[in-house]
Structure 1
Amino acid sequence: MRGSSTDIARGSISLRLCPATIFFATLVLLHATQRATAQDSPASATSTSNNKSSERKPERNLISRMAWVRMEIVGGRIAMLGHRCGQSRIVQVGEPNELPYEQLSVQLQTETLLLHYEDNQTERQIKLDLDDQQRITLTRTGSSPSADLKFSQPFRGPITLTIGRDSPQTYTAATLWHLSLAQPQLCEETLFPLLETLRPHWQLKELSNGILQELRSQAGRDVLTERAQWRDWVAQLNSDDFQERQLADRRLRAAGQGVVAWLQRLDRKSLTPEQAARIQDICQGLADLSTDSPQRVAAWMVDDRCAWLALLRHDNLDVRVDATNHLSVLFGKPLAFNPIGDLSDREIQLVQLQKRFGK
């Protein structure tokens, strides 16, 4: 409607029309402009949606239509970016006691973004919350107990995915990409489609497959020498010589994004206050809020034992072989795992490896 009214306006300017025709075209343009403004206004969106007309429900959800926030994945974690939300807002489509019903609420408290979204249909209900602890909770409930899903991401710490209502199964992982490496089919069939109902055309399956391929291209790469150098620089952060501490600090920063995840995995109890403070400054200084790409993710997963151990359970033999070879490099010795062995034998070997090296 907005596009057609613009065309009318342009036509009325470029053609020599009689005054009556110009007056009529002006009225049409004014009506279209007022209607477009009303549709963009959150307050009028509620009243418009409550009008029991025969208008077809838009295909896109309120999150993508209103564009107040945008969902991204940064560092393997879902991020809610309020790039177009300068104030608290609320909009709804339909009535709360009727179906279908959709509501989006965005609140700004100082520098904290709070969000509540729900989409209630006859066959299912979806809810998304970002609370004052910056914890993200996404749930889907349906007529079938097996279709129930709950995804939880705390501000810090591992994420969890629970499937089912009567006999729920819970999966835990450090990040979304760790979960997709460990449970690719589960993510592709349940979590990814749900996330893409909130942000259409996200292409999470393709991104996850790209991360796997990029990791496989790194298999066998000798990262031990590089990590040994990083450990030396971390030790030098506690040197009595100020110049040596400064040089080590600059060298760690020059190592780029790959060093951030490695530094964050260090045991803080083994660090002195000087080392801990400098490492925190380095991680903050190198913080990059760019969205994840296969190359970026592989850069900080290349020496992640948990990620490679998860690939030992992959259905594809070539992936298991690549993971076995790379873990042998990471451990500095042959891995006690047979990638071509029977499934039951591989599972026993993998459980033992995860007990020893999975943390």
Structure 2
Amino acid sequence: MPSVSQFGPSEVSMHLARHATIRLSLLVLLAVALVPRGVEAQVKIESHWLRYVKSRLQLGVRSGRITIQVRQSGSFQSPWSTDSQGRKEQLTIQHDHFSDEASLAYQRVSPDEKLAVSAATNGRVAIQREPGERGKIVPSEFVQPPAGPLTLTFGKDGEKTTIQTPTIWHLLLAHRETCERYVLPNLMILQPDWKLAEQADQLEKELLRTAREEKLPDRGEWAELVEQLGDEHYARRESADRRLRALGRPVIGYLRSLDRKTLDAEQQYRVHRIIQSLADALNEESTRETALDLLTDRTIWLTLMERDAETTRQTAAKHLEQLLERPIAFDPAADEATRRRQVDALRKEFAK
């Protein structure tokens, strides 16, 4: 390779500029290569109309359920248009000024897939994804009703799998890979900066920390208050109702875990109203608040008893024994097959 001294002044400048350009190009390629895949995916999926959603609606999670709130009033319907990847899309936002209720519906169609996402302020969320004309994706459907469990169904006819969980956190903690494949990418279409997977990781750490360091609340007192919700005297029912509400967020998980078959109509009605009232009073939930919400949830601790780390299994098993106030048939140090059988047996016991 010739040295710089062999060139004239103008040639030297061109030579240096050419090498500077090459170095800059290499730096750009390196920077692109270092961009996390998740970030790259978020950039690709955000369209003009979905950016419009941010200005109109606020999506969040409260008490483990996906919520939307109105930021800017008014209804809107976009024409069918084509995004940066050649997919056709349409967005509809409906807003009732009198009730302040709102809903959104987003559709995206391409030869590879058909996607429909809807959400409403009444709590309903639905995501349906099907293969297009030449698509080979696995069909999936995620539904969060206004009340009741969340349902995820995926697979082709004859091979469908259905999962039901009380909250999005249960789904993320117990079925992480499935959730990341069929739920999170579609939710991030509506809100690309949502970091639900990272929040679930933080939640698990906070649950374990809380279980190790804090004393469990007096569930015996809670049980007595629930019993009094069905008392024949109205004043006693009202007193129990007020005291349960005053307990705040920690009591939500306990009330949700109650077997409704053991409650009379009055108790069921009041328990439902208390849960709804406490949940509605909360803003976007913090990791700490969510951990307190799930601290008394037996199914969460069964999930953590299946983790790879033995210390996590030990903490989860010990906490579950405290919740049940009795020993459980589970050995955190046993082999994986044995542990799975023990956890399955406990799940069957709790399902009775």
Q: Residue 324 and residue 107 in structure 1: after superposition, are their counterparts in 2 closer, same or farther (change >3 A)?
A: same
Query: Number of residue pairs matched?
Result: 300
Sequence identity (%): 32
Query: Please, which of 315, 318, 322 is the counterpart of residue 311 of structure 2?
Result: 318
Contact 1:207 1:293 in 2 (8 A): no
Contact 2:253 2:295 in 1 (8 A): no
Partners of 2:150 and 2:268 in 1: CA distance: 25
Partners of 1:189 and 1:89 in 2: CA distance: 30
Q: Does 1:65 align with 2:41?
A: no
In structure 1, the residue matched to 2:75 is: 88
State the TM-score, normalizing by the size of structure 1: 0.72
Post-superposition Cα deviations, 1:171-223, rounded to whole Å, max 9, x if no partner, equal 22111100111112332344223322220111111101011011111225542
Q: Residue 125 and residue 292 in structure 1: after superposition, are their counterparts in 2 closer, same or farther (change >3 A)?
A: farther
| CA deviation after TM superposition for structure 1 residue 115, in Å | 2.2
Partners of 2:48 and 2:167 in 1: CA distance: 26
Q: Does 1:127 align with 2:120?
A: no
| CA deviation after TM superposition for structure 1 residue 88, in Å | 2.3
Q: Residue 61 and residue 203 in structure 1: after superposition, are their counterparts in 2 closer, same or farther (change >3 A)?
A: farther
In structure 2, the residue matched to 1:105 is: 92
Partners of 2:145 and 2:87 in 1: CA distance: 30
In structure 1, the residue matched to 2:208 is: 216
Query: Please, which of 126, 142, 146 is the counterpart of residue 151 of structure 1?
Result: 142
Partners of 1:347 and 1:137 in 2: CA distance: 32
Aligned to 2:320, the other structure's residue is in SS state helix
Partners of 1:263 and 1:106 in 2: CA distance: 35
| CA deviation after TM superposition for structure 1 residue 278, in Å | 4.9
In structure 1, the residue matched to 2:225 is: 233
Partners of 2:156 and 2:221 in 1: CA distance: 49
Contact 2:46 2:189 in 1 (8 A): no
| CA deviation after TM superposition for structure 1 residue 358, in Å | 4.3
In structure 1, the residue matched to 2:326 is: 333
Q: Which runs of 5+ in 1 are unaligned?
A: 1-56
Aligned residue runs from structure 1 range 207-286, under 5 A:
207-220=199-212, 221-223=214-216, 226-237=218-229, 247-268=239-260, 270-271=262-263, 275=267, 278-280=270-272, 282-286=274-278
Partners of 2:239 and 2:124 in 1: CA distance: 38
Partners of 2:342 and 2:45 in 1: CA distance: 51
> Structure 1 residues 178-187 or 63-72, which shifts more?
63-72
Q: Residue 342 and residue 88 in structure 1: after superposition, are their counterparts in 2 closer, same or farther (change >3 A)?
A: same
| Equivalent AA in structure 2 for residue 127 of structure 1 | A
Partners of 2:310 and 2:205 in 1: CA distance: 14
Query: Please, which of 164, 177, 189 is the counterpart of residue 172 of structure 1?
Result: 164
Query: Please, which of 329, 332, 340 is the counterpart of residue 347 of structure 1?
Result: 340
Partners of 1:174 and 1:303 in 2: CA distance: 14
| CA deviation after TM superposition for structure 1 residue 261, in Å | 3.3
| CA deviation after TM superposition for structure 1 residue 125, in Å | 3.6
Contact 1:103 1:119 in 2 (8 A): yes
| Equivalent AA in structure 1 for residue 61 of structure 2 | I
